[in-house]
Amino acid sequence: MSTEAPAAPGTYDNRVAFAEELIALARVDERIVAVCNDSVGSSNLTAFRDEFPDRLINVGIAEQNMVGVGAGLANAGLIPFVCAASPFLTGRSLEQVKADVAYSQHNVILCGMSPGMAYGELGPTHHSVEDLSWLRALPGLDIAMPADRLQTRQAIRALVAEPRPTFLRIGRHKVPDVTGETTPWTRGVFPVLREGTDVTLIGTGTLVSRALAAADALALDGISARVLNASWIAPIDTAAIVAAARETSAIVVAEEANLAGGLGAAVASIVSQLEQGARPPVRLMGLTEFAPTGSTDFLLDYFGLTADEFARHAREALAHG
């Protein structure tokens, strides 16, 4: 499939780190089980199945049942990683996520594989750009978005150590490493990837590396850009957002998701509640319509989710408010 390639050297599919880490943890913790909807291959669970055939529960193409089964497994004290292509996990079984997981507080780890526009040319039916908006409305559900392979491993380790109802976006589109071994993975905290004083760039998932590239470009113009890796949308890092509003003169937020209710909306709503004088301009980058045909890279460019656009928004916000 053309969405798989060509990938730049030094970029990685987070599903690989996900599977490796899950298997490593499952070897020492029998509570770990995986549940999927015929997505053994696309969720990268083949090796898990081969090593733990009884602990891979493939319910077939039945996402509502899949999430309910996950809740039942959690009820019994197991740690279910429920894995499916993100559009179907979130869209088809949204009510199960609400009632059986979030409202019931069953410790199910919902793994939205290949989120955003990772499925490129397969089109909007297979894109998961509504997930953040839908799931943000559910109290009691954590939403985490590891930006690279290290964060993916950290997220899984943290959830096994302390299971809680969580939606994890596990990217398929290859991304470079953006965090280092010393960057902690802390619930509800955006890692600060670069300090800056003029503008704050907030990216998530695939767009974090683009925020860093934009910061490099802005530095050439003498603009100091802070870069936050929005690894969480729930709980969101209110302190980091408020600090960005008070300490820098503009905020630009980019997400591979619909702007109606996603990360940018969350940031804007926090900033809007600050006192006058502490509300810098907030520019949002994301989707507002169903995508046309195109590869993931094409679509990221099409919707302006690029380092160049990040930098342009930053310059304009600083210049014009």
Partner 1 sequence: MALLHADPDRASAYLALRSELDSGTAERRDAVLADRARETRRAIVRTIGEAGQGHIGGDLSVTDILTTLFTAVLKLDPTNPGWAGRDRFVLSKGHCAVALYSTLAHCGFFSADELPTFMKPLSALNGHPNRNKVPGVETNTGPLGHGLPVAVGAAIAARLTKSATRVFVVLGDGEMQEGSNWEAMMSAAHYGLDNLTIIVDRNRLQQGARTEDTNGLDPLDEKLEAFGLEVRMIDGHDYEALFAAFAPSTTGRPVAVIANTIKGKGVSFIEDRVEWHHKVPSAEQVEIALKELA
Count of residues engaged in binding partner 1, rule: CB under 8 A: 32
Cβ atoms 207, 252 nearer than 8 A: no
* Cα pseudo-dihedral 204, 161, 50, 176, rounded to 10: 20
Cβ closer to partner 1: 59 or 270?
59
Query: Strands across the sheet with 32-36, in order?
Result: 56-58, 32-36, 79-85, 109-113, 166-170, 142-144, 232-234
Calculate the alpha carbon distances from 26 to 33, 56, 149, 168, 205 in Å.
Answer: 8, 11, 18, 18, 25
Taken as a whole, the chain contains a residue count of 321
Helix (H) or strand (E) run with residue 166 in it = strand 166-170
Alpha helices, H only, the chain: 14-28, 46-51, 63-75, 86-87, 94-96, 131-136, 149-161, 208-220, 238-247, 263-272, 296-302, 307-320
Beta carbon of residue 139, minimum distance to partner 1 (angstroms, whole number):
12
Beta carbon of residue 109, minimum distance to partner 1 (angstroms, whole number):
14
Beta carbon of residue 55, minimum distance to partner 1 (angstroms, whole number):
7
Output Rg (C-alpha) for the chain, integer angstroms: 19
Beta carbon of residue 38, minimum distance to partner 1 (angstroms, whole number):
12
User: Mask: binding to partner 1, 31-60, rule CB under 8 A, as x and -?
Assistant: --x-x------------------xx-x-xx
Cβ closer to partner 1: 33 or 250?
33
Cβ closer to partner 1: 64 or 224?
64
Beta carbon of residue 48, minimum distance to partner 1 (angstroms, whole number):
14
Q: Does 100 bind partner 1 (CB under 8 A)?
A: yes
Cβ closer to partner 1: 100 or 297?
100
Beta carbon of residue 268, minimum distance to partner 1 (angstroms, whole number):
32
Cβ closer to partner 1: 11 or 104?
104
Sites for partner 1 among residues 57-96 (CB under 8 A): 57, 59-60, 62, 64-78, 80, 95-96
Q: Does 104 bind partner 1 (CB under 8 A)?
A: yes
Alpha-carbon 309 to chain mean position: 20
Which residues form the interface with partner 1 (CB under 8 A)?
Answer: 33, 35, 54-55, 57, 59-60, 62, 64-78, 80, 95-96, 99-100, 103-106
